[in-house]
Structure 1
């Protein structure tokens, strides 16, 4: 059954491109998971996000770059689908590329207005950009085997 509901690599990428929010799990100082929803983007085959540089998740990632992420969808059992990835993160100095991708994905194109883009850059000046590199991927799509079945 597990193999029957597993997504292909292309299906994983398509699914992630259709989602806005990831649940990001970092490891807190006390060893417990710290979970936070994050907007993200898929840029050139990389999962990226940006957040306040003083946020708890960034403090956790500075201490330990390991992290896991989850994207899921579906309101009934026969429609459940998702992707869970374990991996490591790295901080990238290319904040502009990440901000542009996340903003365009979630707010639409900012356009050619230099004032709007500059205002956005200033608002993002306290943020840091993160690249997530998966080491393990698990996926499921119950629609593949349970269409029309709702236990």
Structure 2
């Protein structure tokens, strides 16, 4: 079980009545979220952002992508990324931003567990077979990555506005 993160409210970006949000609330949002936005950096330094589905499991976020997709190519050069989810509104909801490094998952037994989690969350359209350290779907293969949060931010929108920071590890 991952260690609980250090939790801090940033008073500069929070209403006076705001309190730090517990990590369990953010984690519940990560479990339920259907869509995430992944931000990576191209080899020439330009940003790249795209939506994708992801699964939260055992304290980590998991996503998949084709080996020749821009995000996979970016991660091969620089594994640092940001995954974001929340609501597309200003005055209500809660957004979570997770910073970390992508690590490729290649163990077939672990991938089978993750494939089952994908299908459970997203339905049979997202059924994956596992072969040779990859997800397979029809004629395509996908690399699977895990991201252990290094730092995460939560943005409470509406009354009260808040910004919580969670720091993992040292």
With the length of structure 1 as denominator, give the TM-score of the two structures.
0.78
Tell whether the 8 Å contact from 1:84 to 1:138 is kept in structure 2 after alignment. Answer: yes
CA distance in 2, matches of 1:10, 1:109: 29
Q: Is the CA contact 2:136–2:142 (under 8 Å) kept in the aligned structure 1?
A: no
Residues 1:74 and 1:5: Cα distance change in structure 2 (over 3 Å): farther
Q: Which residue of 2 aligns with 1:38?
A: 52
| 1:90–1:117 Cα change, 3 Å | closer
Alignment TM-score, normalising by the size of structure 2: 0.70
Number of the residue aligned with 1:145: 160
Question: Residue 36 of structure 1: SS of its match in structure 2?
Answer: strand
Report what 1:91 is aligned to.
Answer: 104
The structural deviation recorded for 1:74 is 4.8
Aligned length: 139
For structure 1, list consecutive stretches of 5 or more residues without a partner in the other structure.
111-115, 147-151
Q: CA deviation at 1:85?
A: 1.6
Q: Give the root-mean-square deviation of aligned CA atoms.
A: 2.7
Of 86-95 and 19-28, more deviation after overlay is shown by: 86-95
Runs of 4+ in 1 over 3 A off after TM superposition: 116-119
After TM superposition, list the pairs within 5 Å mapping 1:125-140 onto structure 2.
Answer: 126-140=141-155
More helix by share: 1
User: 2:81: which partner in 1?
Assistant: 67
Name 1:80's counterpart in structure 2. Answer: 93
Structure 2 residue runs without a partner (length 5+): 1-10, 162-170
Q: Is the 8 A contact 2:60 2:148 kept in 1?
A: yes
Does the 8 Å CA contact 1:21/1:71 hold for their aligned counterparts?
yes
How far residue 123 of structure 1 moved from its aligned partner, in angstroms, is 1.3
Other structure's SS at 2:160 match: helix
